[in-house]
C-alpha cells in the first residue's frame, strides 16, 4: 500500500510539472518555432506558401531621439554619414542598423568593404618604373580583386620605394600607382599589403562614434543575417519597409567557412542564398547588429 501511495505521489508531481510554467528551465522563454520564411504564395498543396509555418515576423522601426540624424563613419580618410535609424526584430530580440552604407567609403566609394587584408609577402621579383609609375611583378601575382582602383596599399623592403600608395590601374603583372614610384630593379625582398577598407574598420567606427547611441555593435553571424531574409520579396529579399535601400547583392557575415578559413559566408539579398567568398579578394556590403 505504501509503495502504491509513493507511486501515485510521483505521478501527481510529474503531471503538475507538465502543466506548470517551465520557462525558467530554458531561460527567458520556452523554445519556439523558427521564423516564417515570409512566403505567402502557394505553388503546391502543403508547400511553404500553403502552410506558412513559423513565427510571423514583426519589426519596430526607431527613427526619433537618439535614432534620428546620422553618425560619421570614417575609413581611409573617406566619410559616410550613416543614418542612426535602427530596427528591433521583436521575434529574435536583435537590433539592426536600418541602413547599409552604399556610397563614400570603400575602394570604389560604393560602401563595399573587405573582410580581411590581402598580402603578397617576401617577393624578390618586384621592380619599380618611374616613367610609368608602375610596380611590376615578373611572376604576375597581383590580384585585381584585392587591389581594385582606389585601394590603398603599402610597400616594404625596398631601397627607395617603401611607403603607402593608391591603385590607379592593375593587371596581374603591373600596379599603376596614383603617387608614382622611383626606378628600382628587382632583387630586394618586398612585401605588399592592403590597408584598411575592412568591415572591421566600419564596426570600430560605428562603436567609437556610438551609432544610434550604442557602442556594442557587431558584424552579424550567418544565422543572424539570414534571419532577416524574407523570400516573399525578390531583389531585395527583405522587408523593404523596415530595411529600405537594401542592396540586392552580397552582405558579409562574421562567420568563417571552417573547411576553408580564407573564406567567410555572405548572404545574397537578391534571392536569399548563402555562399562563401575569399575574405581578402572580394568586397561586399555589411549591416550591423546588436543584442537589444
Cα–Cα distance between 12 and 6 in angstroms, integer?
10
Nearest alpha carbon to residue 32 among 55, 11, 51: 55
> What's the pLDDT at 29?
46
Which pLDDT score is estimated for 167? Answer: 98
The pLDDT assigned to 34 comes to: 86
* HSE (side-chain half, CA atoms, 13 Å) at 155: 29
The distance of Cα 259 from the centroid of its chain, to the nearest Å, equals: 19
How far are the Cα atoms of 113, 127, 188, 255, 286 from residue 221, in angstroms, in the given order?
16, 41, 42, 5, 11
pLDDT of res. 171: 97
- Asked if 37 contacts 49 with a C-beta cutoff of 8 angstroms, the reply is no
Give the residue from 186, 267, 177, 261 showing the smallest Cα distance to 219. Answer: 267
Domain residue spans of the chain: 48-114+198-291, 119-194
Would you state the pLDDT for residue 32? 64
Q: What pLDDT shows up at residue 38?
A: 84
Between CA 204 and CA 208, with CA 205 as vertex, the angle to 5 degrees is 85
Question: What is the four-CA torsion angle of 201, 207, 213, 218, rounded to 10 degrees?
Answer: 90
pTM listed for this prediction: 0.86
Local confidence pLDDT in tens for the 292 residues of the chain: 445 444 445 443 443 433 444 333 333 444 467 888 888 899 999 998 899 998 888 999 999 999 999 999 999 999 999 999 999 999 999 999 999 999 999 999 999 999 999 999 999 999 999 999 999 999 999 999 999 999 999 999 999 999 999 999 999 999 999 999 999 999 999 999 999 999 999 999 999 999 999 999 999 999 999 999 999 888 999 999 999 999 999 999 999 999 999 999 999 999 999 999 999 999 999 999 999 8
- Write down the pLDDT at residue 33: 76
Amino acid at each position: 500500500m505504501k509503495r502504491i501511495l509513493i507511486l501515485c505521489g510521483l505521478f501527481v508531481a510529474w503531471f503538475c510539472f507538465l502543466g506548470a510554467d517551465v520557462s525558467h528551465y530554458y531561460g527567458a522563454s520556452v523554445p519556439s518555432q523558427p521564423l516564417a520564411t515570409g512566403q505567402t504564395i502557394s505553388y503546391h498543396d502543403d508547400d511553404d506558401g500553403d502552410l506558412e509555418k513559423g513565427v510571423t515576423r514583426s519589426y519596430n522601426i526607431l527613427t526619433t531621439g537618439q535614432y534620428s540624424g546620422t553618425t560619421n563613419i570614417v575609413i581611409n580618410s573617406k566619410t559616410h554619414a550613416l543614418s542612426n535609424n535602427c530596427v528591433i526584430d521583436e521575434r529574435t530580440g536583435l537590433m539592426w542598423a536600418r541602413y547599409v552604407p552604399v556610397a563614400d567609403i570603400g575602394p570604389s566609394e560604393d560602401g563595399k568593404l573587405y573582410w580581411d587584408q590581402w598580402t603578397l609577402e617576401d617577393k624578390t621579383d618586384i621592380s619599380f618604373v618611374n616613367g610609368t609609375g608602375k610596380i611590376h611583378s615578373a611572376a604576375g601575382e597581383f590580384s585585381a580583386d584585392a587591389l581594385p582602383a582606389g585601394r590603398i596599399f603599402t610597400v616594404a623592403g625596398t631601397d627607395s620605394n617603401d611607403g603607402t600608395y593608391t591603385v590607379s590601374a592593375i593587371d596581374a603583372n603591373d600596379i599603376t600607382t596614383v603617387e608614382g614610384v622611383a626606378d628600382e630593379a628587382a632583387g630586394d625582398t618586398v612585401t605588399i599589403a592592403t590597408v584598411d577598407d575592412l568591415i572591421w574598420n566600419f564596426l570600430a567606427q560605428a562603436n567609437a562614434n556610438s551609432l544610434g547611441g550604442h557602442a556594442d555593435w557587431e558584424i552579424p553571424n550567418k544565422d543572424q543575417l539570414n534571419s532577416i531574409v524574407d523570400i516573399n520579396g525578390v531583389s531585395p529579399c527583405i522587408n523593404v519597409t523596415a530595411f529600405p535601400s537594401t542592396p540586392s547583392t552580397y552582405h558579409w557575415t562574421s562567420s568563417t567557412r571552417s573547411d576553408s578559413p580564407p573564406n567567410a559566408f555572405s548572404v545574397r539579398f537578391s534571392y536569399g542564398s548563402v555562399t562563401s567568398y575569399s575574405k581578402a579578394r572580394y568586397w561586399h556590403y555589411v549591416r550591423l547588429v546588436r543584442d537589444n
